[in-house]
Amino acid sequence: MFGRLLKVQGNKVEIELDDEFDFNKVERFANGKQPVVELNVNDGRTITPDQRKKVWALLNDFCRYTGYSLDEAEILFKSLTRSKYNIEPFSLSDCSVTTGCLMIEAILEFLFDNDIPFQTKTWDAIPSWFKKQSLCLKKRICVICGKPADRAHVHAVGIGRNRSKISNKGNYVMSLCRVHHLEQHSLGLKTFIEKYHIKPIKVTRDIAKEIGWKYE
């Protein structure tokens, strides 16, 4: 359902919907609970050529591994993106920047979850944003080169201390292979993250749960 944002006052918003709103239907779906809505504001920006290039690179890697045609893969992952994020049908020629990001994220997560390999050039083209970092931590893949990795704490946890037993709340981590982990210590953190344009991520409760680390 779409509409126009008319007014914002504190934590309250006023929206004029394009279509008649059937509140009785919403109440039935809510099954007696307070209905919850999500607000996405379209800023008018359309998908960038760089985003489109990343989508096709990821789709090509999927096709190379599975035997799907590119057209089949596009249909499959558009459908997956729509279902996963509850968005309307879209075209890669003129969808929003946000939708482009969501499709990249959906493909990336699918490839990770199904152990589908990336071409080196594809891997290098994907920015090391939070989602890529957290997926790398989960799968023990180096966020820089895609090789098998260790989970590297930015601040040392101490020799002999078990990461699964100490609290990781507030810690910052990266997923690095042995070579890049050693390079991080050799160069120092500031120089290392400037060289590779990556940023350690903070361990959240969800990340700790996924990789079996203690959070509290």
Please provide the DSSP assignment of 31-84 as one string: TTSPP--------SPBPPHHHHHHHHHHHHHHHHHH---HHHHHHHHHHHHHHH
* Across 49-58, 147-156, 198-207, least confident range: 147-156
Residues 6 or more apart whose Cβ sits within 8 Å of residue 35: 26, 27, 29
Q: For CA atoms 42, 46, 48, 53, give the dihedral sign.
A: positive
72-117 pLDDT, tens digit each? 999 999 999 999 999 999 999 989 999 998 999 899 889 888 888 8
Give the pLDDT confidence score for residue 208 in this predicted structure.
78
Give the pLDDT confidence score for residue 156 in this predicted structure.
46
Say whether pLDDT at 43 is over 70. Answer: no
**Concatenated DSSP letters of 88-150:** ----TTT-BHHHHHHHHHHHHHHHHHTTPPPPHHHHHHS---HHHHHHHHHHTB-TTT-SB-E
Total-model pTM:
0.58
**Concatenated DSSP letters of 182-206:** HHHHHH-HHHHHHHHT---EEPPHH
136-181 pLDDT, tens digit each? 888 888 988 888 988 777 654 443 444 455 566 777 888 899 999 9
Give the pLDDT confidence score for residue 1 in this predicted structure.
60
Cα 81 to Cα 131: distance, rounded to the nearest angstrom: 15
Give the pLDDT confidence score for residue 20 in this predicted structure.
76
3-class DSSP state for residue 14?
strand
Say whether pLDDT at 191 is over 60. Answer: yes
Residue 35: what residue type?
P
Give the pLDDT confidence score for residue 203 in this predicted structure.
79
* pLDDT cut 70: percent of the chain above it: 82
Give the pLDDT confidence score for residue 4 in this predicted structure.
76
The per-residue pLDDT of the chain, averaged, comes to 81
Residue 27: what residue type?
E
More confident residue, 42 or 153: 153
Cα 29 to Cα 141: distance, rounded to the nearest angstrom: 41
The tokens for 42 are 């379209």
